[in-house]
Homo-oligomer: A and B are copies of this chain.
């Protein structure tokens, strides 16, 4: 995840300072909610407004720079777009971890969807439970 400016320009948006700052925060945290992004971004750029964070997240999601990760009972988190993968969601500490393998089930999904004549565009898999860290305590 080297060049944020390129990612943004390639999507058709202008590479503003605000967007690059937001992207770098998301990249650093992996999965993060809008208000968390704002809190983080404020530390280095106190004038960057919450409205700007909102506008940009929406914008970058619809331009395929970011992906929304909706989570039951919580606010959505956002991540930099990459191939579909599995999320481990800790219901205790609210952390989200990627499992970086191909979703092992895409063929099964396609078969199922095919039976229903459903045209797949993307898949989203959340596994809820307790992460190793929280299990200890």
Contacts and interface: CB of A to CB of B under 8 A. Distances in A.
Contacts of A69: 72
A126 B128 contact: no
Given A68-B73, A105-B108, A127 B123 contact: yes
How many copies of this kind of chain does the complex include?
A: 2
Nearest to A87: B124
A119 B124 contact: no
A109 B127 contact: yes
A122 interface: yes
Contact of A127 (B73, B90, B113, B135): B113
Contacts of A125: 123-126
A76 B72 contact: yes
A71 to B, nearest CB: 6
A124 B123 CA distance: 11
Contacts of A113: 88, 127, 129
Given A97-B118, A118-B129, A123-B126, 18 more contacts: A68-B72, A69-B72, A88-B116, A88-B118, A91-B121, A99-B116, A101-B112, A105-B108, A113-B127, A113-B129, A117-B132, A120-B127, A120-B129, A121-B130, A122-B128, A122-B129, A123-B128, A124-B125
